[in-house]
A and B are shown apart, each in its own frame.
Chain A
Amino acid sequence: MSLVTATGLEKTYTIGEVRVQAIHGVSFTIDPAAFVAFVGPSGSGKSTLLNMIGCLDKPTAGSLEVAGTDVLALGRKEGALFRGETIGFIFQDFNLLPVLTVYENIEYPLLMVQDTPAAERRDRVTALIEAVGMSEQRDKYPDQLSGGQKQRVAVARALVTNPKLVLADEPTANLDHQTAYRVIELMKKMRDEFATTFIFSTHDPKIVGEAEIIYTLEDGQLKNSNNQGGVHHG
């Protein structure tokens, strides 16, 4: 069974008096444990598509199912609950909470979103800190970390709730190539370890090659895919 099923997705924005067709007739499915990249130039609709998959935005038309849930039917609160339970996010600017330490940033979704018991919380956070190689920095604050370290923490935070899907919007855009490559490798490793589906967007051709499945978007339309399994587009 597919983890993500999108059919005829449309997204139109109105900016002033101008209507912008951000996504136009996009359909695809993504299987569990896939490692998928959406690529394309700026303004091609990658972020819009990821936002819709992440229940942050709703399509103007079409249908979208994530983990068996019709996300279009979710209200504001239900959407937040669904994201907290099912989806992890990695952001281009890392978006760690500056007042929390590495440990606390990773712990945050368990504490504030899922109300996980303390012992389980401690075990999961400790395991993930070790998995992303940040044990020595666990008590540091984000402003004491390098960009790569911040993104490692963000990866751990995204995975700590055991989500079915992790969405990463341009996760390497603010990193140098070597660090970007390491972050992608880390994401891949996490996928292998936790069988979590990773969908990320990028326009960096060197990083694109690391994806197992590549979707190319252009002007809001799906142009082609390097479908090596797990993804089917229509």
Chain B
Amino acid sequence: MGKLCKIAIRNLLRYKRRTLLTTSLIAIGVIFVLVFVAVTGSFKAMMIAQNTDAMLGHLQVHRKGYVASIDNLPLNLNLKAGAIARLEKILNSQPEIATYSPRIKFGAMFSTFVETTNIRLNGVEPERELATVPLLATRVLEGNKTIERGHLWLPELLAKGMKVKVGDTVVIVATNKDGSVNGKSLVVGAILGSVTGPGGRDGYLHIEDAAEILRQQEREISEVAIRLKDFDRLESFGKRLNGLLAGELNQMDKPIFELHTWEKLSPFFNIARMIDVMTFFIKLMLIAIVLVSIMNVMIMAVYERIREIGTMAAIGTLPGKILALFMLEGFSLGVAGAVAGNIFGLLVIGALNIAHISYDFGQQKGFILQAGINPTELAVISAIVIVGAVLASLQPAFKASRMDPIKALRHV
């Protein structure tokens, strides 16, 4: 096999310009795919991180039916004390969970004593919330980075519109599930930068203040946001936790809880899917480039070397070895293109990172592009190129191996 490889490589080097052009074409395709995957991957990772680490968490548990009405923030679909205890028992026994944070979500009236508007609010336990969505604190544009009792984190656009500054006193008025209205004065503790996505323009306050405004006799919560130790295990763990929660039934033998991953809660998951689909089609284009270029070169090689093939066959070279020789030539072209593409692709990705290219995502400005590619993706793209090259060589190689020695030797 070693000698066969040597002959294959020498044959490729016979036509240096053609080999160089084909290898370059494949390498350019690989570079394009690598850079595309790295850049879109960076954007996708940022987008997922902004959704999961600044707002949603990785998973959320609600009372069954809550998500269908989530736009109304229905207080009558909150989880009650008994259900919360059962849920916490399950969550506390899961080693995959890093932390979780209970939330009371409600809609309220926000008044500056001069103007009034509506606001969506999240009552949270500050330490648990900041551990579950660690990027929340980075959204604080000014003010205190912890949510204290009696304080309100106000979204930036609302603060601007209502001309409210940190330290101002405002009033929150809300109707509880029984229909009674209550209000509470709060101090604006921080102005919060908006993020693109669900809940990206919500305000935050301490969970005890939320319970007080809603006059909760005993603790009720709207949702529990969960953060996993390993985000990559989201799907498998989500399925397992869903199974565990499905076993928790109410008195009517109906499930109490519903579990959603961030993917089901955020419309940006569809953008992430679109990126994946685009990546898939870009890879298909790479396959097409490899197939067309290698097949073209190998057909030419067979045509130009018909007499050589005839000689090899005449002196007793088995058809299988002739087939292997031409397939090795295609394989070598694929390997050379993949290696060159990987090297230059990584260099381009490195250059993009050094250039510190910034971009905006909705209201958020100045994200720095952090293009990166994991070894698995490199291996997959290389495998696509090499397998494509071998497949493209198959037909010309087969033709060479089946050639009639007499006709081949007579070929002019």
Contacts and interface: CB of A to CB of B under 8 A. Distances in A.
A62 to B, nearest CB: 18
A80 B316 contact: yes
Interface string A66-96: 0000000000110011111101110101010
Contacts of B316: 80-85, 87, 109, 113, 161
A89 B314 contact: yes
A51 B406 CA distance: 8
For the complex, would chain B's binding face be called helix, strand, loop or mixed by DSSP majority? helix
B308 A80 contact: no
Interface residues on B, range: 20 to 34
A95 B7 contact: no
B20 to A, nearest CB: 17
Contacts of B7: 97, 99-100
A157 interface: yes
Contacts of A1: none
Given A97-B308, A111-B3, A84 B11 contact: no
Contacts, number: 68
B409 A95 contact: yes
Interface residues of A, number: 30
A81 B318 contact: yes
B228 to A, nearest CB: 57
Interface string A102-121: 00000011011100000000
A98 interface: yes
Interface string B1-31: 0011001001101100000000000000000
Contact of A112 (B14, B314, B317, B319): B317
B314 A56 contact: yes
A112 B321 CA distance: 8
B395 interface: no
A80 B315 CA distance: 8
A98 B3 contact: no
Contacts of A220: none
Interface string A32-68: 0000000000000000000100101100000000000
B313 interface: yes
A163 to B, nearest CB: 10
A182 B314 CA distance: 25
Given A83-B315, A99-B14, A112-B4, 4 more contacts: A57-B406, A84-B317, A97-B308, A113-B318
Interface of B: 3-4, 7, 10-11, 13-14, 307-308, 310-319, 321, 405-406, 409
The 6 closest A-B pairs by CB, nearest first: A84-B316, A99-B10, A95-B311, A113-B316, A83-B316, A56-B405
28 contacts: A56-B314, A56-B405, A56-B406, A77-B318, A80-B313, A80-B317, A80-B318, A81-B316, A83-B314, A84-B315, A84-B316, A84-B318, A88-B315, A89-B315, A91-B311, A91-B314, A95-B311, A97-B308, A97-B312, A98-B308, A99-B10, A99-B11, A99-B13, A99-B14, A108-B315, A112-B4, A113-B316, A113-B317
